[in-house]
Amino acid sequence: MVKAILPLITGVLLFFSCYIDVPHDSRYDTLNPFGKSSISIEVTDKDGMPMESAAVKLNDTLVFYTNEDGVFSIGTFTYGDILIKIEKDEYRTFEKDTLLKTGVPLSLTVRMNYIPVIENFHAYSSVRNIVSFEDTMEYNVNYTGLIKDKDGIGDIDSCIMNISGMKFKMNLSEEGALVKCSLNFSENNGYFQIYDLQGENSYMEVFDKSGERILSSNANLVRFIERLPIILYPEDGGVLSLPDTIKWKRTSELFESYFQMEIKDEFKTAFIADSINSADSALYIDTLLNENAYKMYLRLYDMFGNFSENSIIFSVF
User: Are 67 and 98 members of one domain?
Assistant: yes
Distances (CA, A) of 114 to 154, 195, 203, 262: 12, 38, 22, 47
Residues 167 and 235 in one domain: no
Please give the pLDDT value at position 198: 53
- Least trusted range by pLDDT, from 21-30, 121-130, 262-271: 21-30
103 and 33 within one domain? yes
Point out the domain boundary residue: 215, 247, 279.
215
Are 312 and 131 in contact, with CB atoms under 8 Å apart?
yes
DSSP tag of 279? T
Pairing of strands 292-302, 307-316: antiparallel
- With cut-offs at 50, 70 and 90, classify the pLDDT of residue 58: very high
The answer on pLDDT for 108 being more than 90 is yes
pLDDT at 87 over 80: yes
pLDDT of residue 201: 66
Residue 101 lies in domain:
21-111
Among residues 184, 215, 246, which one ends one of the domains?
215
Q: What mean pLDDT is predicted for residues 198-215?
A: 79
Q: Is the peptide bond before 243 cis (omega within 30 degrees of 0)?
A: yes
Half-sphere exposure of 123 (CA within 13 A, CB side): 28
**Total domains present in the chain:** 3
Q: Provide the β-strand partners of residue 260.
A: 275, 299
pLDDT over threshold 60, residue 188: yes
Q: Distance (Å, rounded) from C-alpha 300 to C-alpha 302? A: 7
Please report which helix (H) or strand (E) contains residue 41, including its range: strand 36-44
In a domain, 8, yes or no: no
In the predicted structure, residue 9 carries a pLDDT above the cut 60: no
Say how far apart CA 277 and CA 249 lie, in whole Å: 12
The answer to whether the CB of 202 falls within 8 A of the CB of 218 is yes
Across residues 65-74, what is the average pLDDT? 95
E-strand stretches of 102-199: 106-111, 117-130, 136-148, 156-163, 166-169, 171-175, 178-186
Q: What is the C-alpha separation between 202 and 198, in angstroms, rounded?
A: 8
pTM of the model: 0.56
Where a domain ends, among 90, 111, 132? 111
pLDDT in tens, 254-288: 667 788 899 988 888 888 888 888 888 898 888 77
Q: Do 121 and 217 form a contact (C-beta atoms < 8 A)? A: yes
Q: Is residue 269, in this structure, part of any structural domain at all?
A: yes
Q: What is the CATH number of the domain that holds 269?
A: 2.60.40.10
pLDDT level of residue 192 (50, 70, 90 thresholds): low
Cβ pair 79, 100 in contact under 8 A: yes
* Residue 307: pLDDT over 70: yes
d(CA 65, CA 86): 9
